[in-house]
Homo-oligomer: A and B are copies of this chain.
Amino acid sequence: MGKITIVKAINQALAEEMARDEDVVLLGEDIGQDGGVFRVTDGLLEKFGPQRVMDTPLAELAIAGTAIGMAVYGLRPVAEIQFMGFTYGALEQVFSHASRIRSRSRGRFTCPMVIRTPYGIGIKAPELHSESAESLYCHMPGIKVVAPSTPYNAKGLLISAIRDDDMVLFMEPASIYRAIKAEVPTENYAIPLGKAAIMQEGDEITLVSWGAMLHKAMEASEGFDCEIIDLMTLKPFDEEAILESVRKTGRLVIVHEATKNCGLGAEIAALVAEEALFYLKAPVLRVAGPEAVTPMASLEDEYVPKVARIREALKDVMKY
């Protein structure tokens, strides 16, 4: 054990899985010599050599496309895309291929690969370095989407993602890459995909979030009797955990930083409106980004849900 950051936890997960299974290989821009622009892959080139830690040319489509080729051939590639905004150039490969190869070949070929990418607002980087585009990926059948919130679950979830037999998009909360240090076992452990974590039990409000926003949600919950759910796996998400909680609390607030319209919060709200409607005592509130693209650094703190806004939503649902 030892207190480490999310960056280090991910690094550990990669190193352990690479040591355990020689089919696990890494590829991406600047991940080798440079150790990645966030240093997530620091030291791995030295440890595993250039055939397993591949610095690629600048081409996201090809990073995804060649990872697919490696995966169907029998490797377990873990590709890094430097920022989530740059995964847009790889969407066709994900949507038309990674997600469909198993189905298209009726199981003859499979695509066990991971795309790791930092996401979210908070690092005051240039435009398109702050995207939170999970719902695009969540809409696409055949792939999984994961977003850790702590060093502990970052390690365990990434290990599961690497071992998963289909493509997993692994979204790393850049704004808390180094902000949180926590105890993480030095042993190898896996946290199952598809299961949410109840961070705090409570009786009056179900508060659902993930990634960096989870911490704001937790902060905002002080003084309220919240059941706080860390979704962790965004696709397929843990429907039962949410429904069960809402059946108990009767109130639901969802917090995410992506723009609200057609965000993942909508699916969670819709699920509850379909399967637990009569348990609801209050409107389902989504505290999310406004209807605008993520702004540049000087306004980014205005865009992203603030603790005060979350508290307001909690107050609002408690009015019912």
Contact = CB atoms under 8 A, between A and B. Distances in A.
Given A103-B295, A236-B291, 20 more contacts: A88-B95, A89-B92, A91-B92, A100-B293, A104-B127, A135-B135, A135-B262, A138-B261, A138-B262, A141-B293, A235-B261, A236-B261, A266-B269, A269-B274, A270-B270, A270-B284, A270-B286, A272-B273, A274-B286, A277-B282
Interface string A98-109: 011001100000
A316 to B, nearest CB: 10
Interface size class of A (residues with CB under 8 A): 35 or more
B273 A280 contact: yes
Interface string A249-283: 00000000011011111110110111101101011
Contact of A91 (B88, B270, B286, B295): B88
**Complex copy number for this chain:** 2
B274 A139 contact: no
B96 A92 contact: no
B266 A270 contact: yes
A96 B270 contact: no
Given A99-B293, A283-B274, A293-B99, A262 B139 contact: yes
A4 interface: no
* 6 closest cross-chain pairs (CB), A and B: A269-B270, A88-B92, A139-B262, A266-B270, A266-B266, A273-B284
